[in-house]
Amino acid sequence: MAVERTPAVYIVTNSFHGTLYTGVTSNLPGRVYQHRNGTFRGFTAEHGCKRLVWFEIHATMEEAIVREKRIKRWRREWKYALIEADNPTWRDLAEDFGFEPLLRTPGVEKQVGPGSSPG
């Protein structure tokens, strides 16, 4: 099953334990490209949510939409737990699709991850 045309729910963020955006798409690499390049105006562009930290593939778009709506109602802590169950370091999963690593800009996103100190 090719990920390019598969229904998926995903979460992007701007930093470790930062702002989260939950979305749904039938083209995950294409949607990641759009988030990274600021194609969409609005929440993700305003908050710099470009880092893919979680995704889940579904058999149908209907299933994916139901799951997206459910996750959007969750508390932030539950979303953190969902992400950290599969991606405890909040690694940018977009790199697995061939995307270049995001540049880190001091003052724009936190540089601190789990097990590290800020100084």
Per-residue pLDDT tens digits for 25-43: 999 999 999 999 988 788 9
- Residue 4 in this model has a pLDDT that exceeds 80: no
CA-CA distance, 112 to 93, in Å (whole number)? 18
Say what the pLDDT of residue 24 is: 98
Class of residue 78 by CB neighbours under 10 A (exposed 0-12, middle 13-18, buried 19+): exposed
Average pLDDT over residues 53-64: 98
With 0.85 as the threshold, say if the pTM is over it.
Answer: no
CA-CA distance, 13 to 57, in Å (whole number)? 19
- Residue 68 in this model has a pLDDT that exceeds 60: yes
Q: Which class is 3-97 in CATH?
A: alpha beta
For the chain, domain boundaries: 3-97
Residue 3: pLDDT band (50, 70, 90) is: low
